[in-house]
Structure 1
Amino acid sequence: MNVEDALHARRSVRAFLPRVPDGALVRRLLHAASRAASGGNMQPWRVTALTGEPLQRILSAVATAAPQENALSYPPSLWEPYRSRRFENGEELYRTLGIGRDDKPARLEQLGRNGQFFGAPVGIFVCVDERMGQPQWADLGIYLQSLMLLAVEQGLATCAQGFWRRFGDTVAAQLNMPAGYSVAFGIALGWEDVEAPINALRATRADPEEWLELQGF
């Protein structure tokens, strides 16, 4: 598998098999992803992977915690074309589950599965020093993409989740993070449950004519 193949194969998986990946493999993936580009070679990520009882302890703590009001995954009052892209993706996701637009309890139940890493046997938290700026957050994104592509190469599935910022204080306390560190995102990792209806979702991408421009070619 080459990089382009992995890029096309990667997607957000939201139902996993219970089989736990070998710890040595998980460590190798997390380590290899640190070759991601990083401005000034600062490598601003701090990464913790959990499974078994340590993971369940965090999931239980989050289940009873109140979300942080200032931890948004998206800008408020989204504008076009971003509003429509997000709306259409959400509708397609719920359609795979047969959940109607007016079925608020079912939608909230599915939203709550974010807080269980969608049943993934491995949960990964990437944290960052709160003093870091936008350039270092870009580095975190490069680390994230590198990790997800490496996982695809090994036949593993992932789902990156900004959701965990809503419970960042709770997670950071459970992880005994140093003072001043916050959760940037979580990553569900494991083997895809290919029979789960929700994994039939294939998100589209905008036509390059909407966002791509070449000059001088």
Structure 2
Amino acid sequence: MHVDNAIRSRKSVRRFLPLGISKPVIEHILQVASRAPSGNNLQPWHVHVLTGDAKQALCSDILESTALEAEGHDPEYQYYPNSWFEPYQSRRRASGFGLYEALGIDRNDLQARERQNLRNLHFFDAPIGLLISLDRRLNTGSYIDLGMFIQNIMLAARGQGLHTCPQAAFASYHQIVRRHVPLADEDILVCGIALGHEDRDAPENSLQTHREPVAAFTSFHGFKARAQGN
């Protein structure tokens, strides 16, 4: 797959088919992803790969904890701003409302919205769940490096005909995750990633989020104007 096609076809898939993925395929994806750049070649990422009973046990534990105590689950880093402002609030709302519309969920149906939100916590039925962590002793630059690594995972997955969904939701359950995988004390759980085969019949997978045109986020400096007709 051409890299342009991999980038353009990547999307957050929220329903997967019950088709397994072999360990060699996952190893290939991670090996390709590991070519991501990092400052001084620190390679600050760590990945825990879960499937089968191991994944089910983690997801069941998280869902049970959520049912018993909805509050009290907080990530160890702040992903979003404390107060929303434009243009980011409008983009956030458009994304959420677009998902609910695709699913036929009224935006005022809080119970249906919560049921959909809880599907995050079992990797949207994907056969593979990845948990991505970072050494907390590192600094902000390593988050940039980690982002490039995560993007590489998603693009390498497309090269194998697979899809993904990056999931910050798992960061809130780092205490439960530590019961199931040997996450080092110095590691901070950054996100999960669902990995599998897209269910193309699922309405939520038809969602295509809007992207701003290049002119909206780019300033060009020092370029000569093209001569007319060139």
Give the TM-score taking structure 2 as reference length. Answer: 0.91
Q: How does 1:1-217 map to 2 (within 5 A)?
A: 1-65=1-65, 66=69, 67-69=72-74, 72-217=78-223
Cα distance between partner residues in 2 of 1:153 and 1:96: 27
Give CA-to-partner distance per residue, 1:186-215, whole Å, 9 cap, x none.
000000000001001011101222211111
- Preserved contact between residue 74 and residue 173 of structure 2 (Cα < 8 Å): no
Pairs aligned (count): 217
- Preserved contact between residue 96 and residue 201 of structure 1 (Cα < 8 Å): yes
- Preserved contact between residue 16 and residue 193 of structure 1 (Cα < 8 Å): yes
Shift of 1:70: 5.1
- Preserved contact between residue 120 and residue 188 of structure 1 (Cα < 8 Å): yes
Gaps of 5+ in 2: 224-230
Gaps of 5+ in 1: none
Cα distance between partner residues in 2 of 1:46 and 1:123: 14
The share of aligned pairs that are identical, in percent, is: 39
Shift of 1:64: 2.2
Indicate the larger mover: 176-185 or 36-45.
176-185
> What is the DSSP-based 3-state SS (H/G/I as helix, E as strand, rest coil) of the residue aligned with 1:64?
helix
CA 1:127–1:111: 2 relative to 1, 3 Å = same
Cα distance between partner residues in 1 of 2:75 and 2:121: 18
- Preserved contact between residue 172 and residue 182 of structure 1 (Cα < 8 Å): no
User: Letter of the aligned partner of 1:146 in structure 2?
Assistant: N
> What is the DSSP-based 3-state SS (H/G/I as helix, E as strand, rest coil) of the residue aligned with 1:48?
strand
- Preserved contact between residue 169 and residue 182 of structure 1 (Cα < 8 Å): no
User: Letter of the aligned partner of 1:68 in structure 2?
Assistant: H
Cα distance between partner residues in 2 of 1:148 and 1:173: 27
Shift of 1:134: 1.0
Shift of 1:151: 0.5
Give the TM-score taking structure 1 as reference length. Answer: 0.96
- Preserved contact between residue 15 and residue 125 of structure 2 (Cα < 8 Å): yes
